[in-house]
């Protein structure tokens, strides 16, 4: 155990020090319902959970296992999916009541079809959860030959469907896998209500074959989650892929590992030892790991890709989706490829030894009596079968192709995948992966020598789904995705979407190539020669015979600006020029005739690539939105901004009022644009560059203090404001008038203030009227009001009693003035 801990420590340290892998971003994204990526959707309100798919040999009929029903869909038409027949298969009311009494939710008690396999050309075999009591039945009513009926029928051997224990899971959310070979059904599922007895078994055996099973009584499976199965005719073996708890790593609690197991279809069990049990069962560890990270140890889906024509069967590849049990890995999901040759070599080497008393694994050297997993051991001796019974775990792990990850996604959790090999225009084969994400998108990726390239992503359903399935039809060139929302048909190629040779080549899609004669992007399968295509490098100049990109002066020449959108705007208005998105991998920027923008203080480029600025005299003229992708530069949109014609003649007062209301509106809050806006309509004869219509251009009233256009930094703003004021309409007359009025107001206020101060000083030295000397002081000490004030104020100033009385009587104060000491002012006592 100490050696295993020491061996695992470098992996932990490397994972902590690992650098993030480059993020894989789809080049183009198509939301659901996008006209650029039309899909065919089959949906009916009475049909739900269409998640089990089975495609006929001629690929014209798609059989679907749904909730309480089995469907037959006609998929031979390109633009529609038509239902041929529907077989209802619902539990009875008594079965639903018993399911509810078991403590299950009623939404989980219907019959969810989880097994749908062909037995021969006339019969299918279907199994469903059937209210947590699995049932199976034979179906017929179809024929691959000339005969065909429009109705599916159920043909049971007895009065009711067969019990599906060990063939179908009880819970509709449990994973399972099933495959038929020569009329026999091979399944991997759980065989009890609680889901604690995993089993790999064979059913419907005839002749010398007997039904076999591999249950958990011998510790062969440790809480597995079955994923998929595949039959390899050259080996006469079936390979099962699943994840389980790795008991060999006993120093880590519940350490999950991914497995590949094999059994031989010719196995009939032992004569005395391992009777009705598998004698050819063996399993190995699938290792999906980068050199600097912990392994992606939980397998999600595995599919087989046959070798190219003429290649040996050992070149068969198994592509799998893996996730990590830890959060230190750089990605959410990883794709690894395993070669059949490597799997066979792993099973042919040494095996670990299981101690039945302690249930611990050891790797001590022992004499190898037999080779576990070898076909034909049913006639072996009891000693050999006991050796096979205790040695079924391979000592080595199956390494991925190239001992590296095929691709890693940092922000997506992939759930299902399909693979196809495509021959490009250069007669080179490329592998295309179709990856279904938990967020509802289908990613289309091509595997290149430098790494994976995601060509596009297509949204196929709105909400994340727990149970999904995917079926690839190579002859039809479509991918069928089964969800709870119905069945979606997604074409594998979308070549007509690319309007130019540059866009067709930059897509780097092996399905598509540019035909120079027809000036269209077409599919390479149409056997056209001389198509423009470069999947590996995406070199537009070579594939399209394009010239070197023009210089900025040449791009703005009179011969290169004959097309574009002309917009007439008034000065001091905020204008927004939009730039279309053709690729997420492209970098967009704007140019003026001098090859660059005037100043970042005057122009604001938003995250969506659009350009916003305040229209001034220097900002009039042409604008180009350019994109640079893979070293190739192209024009996405062209605009020409011009000033509107003069307004009708107005009186000076009306003109000043109008200018202040429209040209210079009140400033809005910081970072917020005014709600009022006017759309500047393009001229009827103006179109955008590259044959596409440019998006509408928006003009908005400019807010001079808005932080979205003018930065608050005075140092960076000064140049822009001076440039704007230098070319803006003059308001000198208004400024002079306001300045004169302001000066008059200030002078009047100063005069009034000086007059008030002078009067206050004279009142302090003037004689006081009424009352004997010192009366005010005595009353102040007593806390009484002084008789010199009547408690009233006039315009904020105290009014003397004597003055008030004298003015009221119309008399002047002619008495001899006295000071506070009873003597003349400024006369010493």
- Residue bearing the bigger pLDDT, 77 or 683: 77
State the pLDDT confidence band at 690, using cuts at 50, 70 and 90: very low
Range of 27-41, 542-556, 770-784, 794-808 with top mean pLDDT: 27-41
**Residue 206: predicted pLDDT:** 87
**In angstroms, rounded to a whole number, what is the distance separating the alpha carbons of residues 257 and 506?**
39
Q: Is residue 308 pLDDT above 80, yes or no?
A: yes
The tens digit of pLDDT for each residue in 470-516 reads: 999 999 999 999 988 899 999 999 999 999 999 999 999 999 999 99
Average pLDDT over residues 223-252: 93
Average pLDDT over residues 603-628: 88
Mean pLDDT, the chain, rounded, equals 78
**What is 628-697 written as a DSSP string?**
EETTEEEEEEEEEEEEPPPPPP--HHHHHHHIIIIISPPP--TT---S--EEEPPPTT---GGGSPPPPE
Angle at the Cα of 562 from the Cα atoms of 575 and 531, rounded to 5 degrees: 110
State the pLDDT confidence band at 145, using cuts at 50, 70 and 90: very low
**Residue 564: predicted pLDDT:** 75
Of how many residues is the chain composed?
829
**Residue 547: predicted pLDDT:** 52
The residue with tokens 């659009």 is 610
Judge whether 466 and 504 are in contact, CB under 8 Å: no
Average pLDDT over residues 292-310: 92
**In angstroms, rounded to a whole number, what is the distance separating the alpha carbons of residues 402 and 405?**
8
First to last CA, the chain: 116
The tens digit of pLDDT for each residue in 355-388 reads: 777 778 887 666 778 888 889 887 888 889 988 8
**Residue 431: predicted pLDDT:** 97
Q: Name beta bridge partners: 182.
A: none
**Residue 757: predicted pLDDT:** 81
Judge whether 624 and 556 are in contact, CB under 8 Å: yes
Q: What is the pTM of this model?
A: 0.75
Q: Is residue 354 pLDDT above 50, yes or no?
A: yes
**Burial grade of 101 (CB within 10 A; 0-12, 13-18, 19 or more):** exposed
Q: Is residue 62 pLDDT above 50, yes or no?
A: yes
The tens digit of pLDDT for each residue in 593-612 reads: 765 565 677 888 888 889 99
**In angstroms, rounded to a whole number, what is the distance separating the alpha carbons of residues 627 and 629?**
7
Judge whether 137 and 70 are in contact, CB under 8 Å: no
- Measured in degrees and rounded to the nearest 5, phi and psi for residue 360 equal -115, 150
Task: Find, among 524, 406, 420, the residue nearest to 471 by Cα.
Answer: 420
**In angstroms, rounded to a whole number, what is the distance separating the alpha carbons of residues 730 and 741?**
19
**Residue 498: predicted pLDDT:** 95
**What is 527-580 written as a DSSP string?**
--SS-B--TTT--HHHHTTPPPPPPHHHHTSTTT-SSSEEEEE-TTEEEEE---
Helix (H, G, I), strand (E, B) or coil at 480: strand
- Measured in degrees and rounded to the nearest 5, phi and psi for residue 558 equal -65, -25
Q: Where exactly are the structural domains of the chain? A: 43-171, 573-646+663-718
- Between 43-52, 137-146, 188-197, the lowest mean confidence (pLDDT) is in 137-146
Residues 6+ apart with CB under 8 A from 403: 291
- Between 85-89, 330-334, 397-401, 550-554, the lowest mean confidence (pLDDT) is in 550-554
- Say yes or no: domain 573-646+663-718 is CATH 2.60.40.10: yes
**In angstroms, rounded to a whole number, what is the distance separating the alpha carbons of residues 120 and 180?**
10
**Residue 287: predicted pLDDT:** 95
**Residue 685: predicted pLDDT:** 38
Q: Is residue 333 pLDDT above 50, yes or no?
A: yes
State the pLDDT confidence band at 467, using cuts at 50, 70 and 90: low
**Residue 18: predicted pLDDT:** 41
Judge whether 415 and 424 are in contact, CB under 8 Å: no
From residue 405, alpha-carbon distances to 227, 246, 321, 725 in Å are: 20, 22, 10, 60
């Amino acid at each position: 155990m100490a050696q295993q801990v020491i061996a695992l420590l470098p992996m932990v340290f490397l994972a902590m020090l690992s650098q993030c892998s480059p993020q894989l971003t789809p080049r183009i994204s198509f939301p659901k319902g996008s006209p650029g990526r039309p899909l065919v959707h089959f949906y009916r309100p009475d049909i739900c959970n269409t998640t089990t798919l089975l495609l006929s040999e001629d690929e014209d009929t798609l059989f679907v296992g749904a909730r309480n029903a089995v469907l037959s869909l006609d998929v031979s038409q390109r633009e529609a999916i038509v239902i041929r027949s529907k077989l209802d298969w619902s539990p009875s009311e008594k079965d639903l009541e018993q399911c509810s009494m078991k403590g299950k939710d009623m939404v989980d008690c219907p019959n969810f079809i989880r097994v749908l396999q062909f037995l021969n050309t006339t019969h299918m075999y279907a199994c469903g959860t059937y209210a947590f009591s699995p049932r199976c039945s034979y179906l017929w009513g179809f024929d691959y030959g000339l005969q065909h009926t429009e109705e599916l029928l159920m043909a049971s051997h007895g009065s009711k469907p067969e019990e599906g224990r060990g063939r179908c899971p009880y819970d509709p959310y449990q994973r399972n896998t099933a495959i038929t070979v020569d009329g026999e059904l091979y399944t991997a599922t759980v065989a009890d209500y609680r889901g604690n007895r995993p089993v790999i078994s064979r059913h419907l055996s005839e002749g010398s074959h007997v039904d076999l099973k591999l249950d958990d009584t011998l510790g062969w499976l440790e809480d597995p989650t079955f994923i998929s199965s595949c039959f390899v005719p050259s080996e006469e073996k079936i390979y099962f892929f699943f994840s389980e708890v790795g008991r060999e790593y006993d120093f880590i609690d519940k350490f999950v590992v991914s497995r590949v197991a094999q059994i031989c279809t010719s196995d009939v069990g032992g004569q005395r030892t391992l009777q009705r049990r598998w004698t050819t069962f063996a399993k190995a560890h699938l290792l999906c790991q980068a050199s600097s990270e912990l392994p992606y140890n939980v397998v999600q889906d595995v599919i087989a890709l046959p070798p190219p024509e003429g290649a040996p069967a050992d070149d068969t590849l198994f592509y799998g989706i893996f996730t990590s049990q830890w959060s230190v890995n750089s990605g959410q999901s990883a794709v690894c490829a395993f070669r059949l040759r490597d799997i066979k070599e792993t099973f042919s080497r040494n095996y670990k030894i299981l101690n039945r008393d302690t249930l611990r694994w050891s790797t001590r050297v022992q004499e190898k009596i037999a080779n576990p997993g070898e076909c034909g051991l049913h006639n072996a001796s009891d000693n050999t079968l006991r050796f096979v019974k205790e040695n079924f775990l391979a000592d080595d792990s199956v390494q991925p192709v190239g001992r590296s990850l095929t691709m890693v996604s940092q922000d997506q959790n992939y759930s299902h995948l399909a693979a196809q090999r495509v021959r490009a225009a250069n007669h080179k084969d490329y592998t295309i992966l179709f990856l279904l994400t938990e967020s509802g998108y289908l990613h289309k990726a091509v595997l290149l020598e430098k790494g994976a390239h995601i060509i596009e992503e297509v949204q196929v359903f709105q909400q994340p789904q727990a149970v999904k399935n995917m079926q690839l039809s190579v002859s039809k060139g479509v991918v069928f995705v089964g969800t709870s929302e119905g069945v979606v048909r997604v074409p594998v190629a979308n070549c007509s979407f690319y309007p130019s040779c540059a866009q067709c080549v930059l897509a780097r899609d092996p399905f598509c190539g540019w035909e120079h004669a027809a000036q269209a992007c077409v599919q390479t399968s149409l056997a056209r020669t001389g198509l423009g295509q470069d999947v590996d490098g995406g070199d537009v100049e070579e594939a399209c015979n394009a010239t070197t990109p023009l210089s900025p002066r040449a791009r703005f020449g009179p011969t290169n600006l004959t097309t574009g959108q002309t917009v007439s705007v008034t000065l001091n208005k905020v204008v927004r020029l939009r730039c279309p998105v053709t690729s997420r991998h492209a970098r967009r920027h704007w140019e003026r005739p001098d090859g660059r923008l005037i100043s970042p203080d005057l122009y604001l480029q938003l995250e969506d690539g659009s350009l916003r600025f305040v229209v001034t005299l220097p900002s009039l003229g042409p604008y180009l939105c350019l994109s640079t992708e893979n070293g190739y530069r192209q024009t996405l949109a062209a605009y020409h901004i011009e000033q509107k014609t003069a307004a009708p003649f107005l009186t000076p007062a009306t003109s000043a009022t109008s200018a202040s209301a429209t040209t210079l509106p009140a400033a809005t809050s910081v970072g917020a644009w005014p709600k009022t806006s006017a759309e500047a309509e393009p001229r009827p004869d103006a179109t955008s560059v590259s044959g596409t219509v440019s998006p509408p251009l928006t003009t908005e009233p400019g807010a001079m203090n808005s932080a979205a256009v003018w930065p608050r930094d005075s140092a960076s703003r000064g140049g822009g404001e001076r440039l704007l004021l230098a070319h803006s309409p003059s308001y000198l007359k208004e400024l002079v008038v306001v300045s004169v009025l302001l000066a008059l107001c200030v002078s009047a206020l100063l005069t009034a203030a000086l007059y008030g101060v002078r009067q206050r000083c004279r009142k302090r030295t003037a004689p006081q009227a009424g009352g004997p000397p010192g009366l005010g002081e005595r009353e102040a000490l007593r806390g009484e009001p002084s008789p010199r004030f009547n408690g009233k104020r006039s315009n904020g100033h105290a009014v003397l009693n004597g003055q008030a009385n004298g003015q009221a009587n119309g008399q002047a104060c002619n008495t001899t003035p006295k000071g506070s000491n009873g003597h003349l002012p400024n006369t010493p006592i």
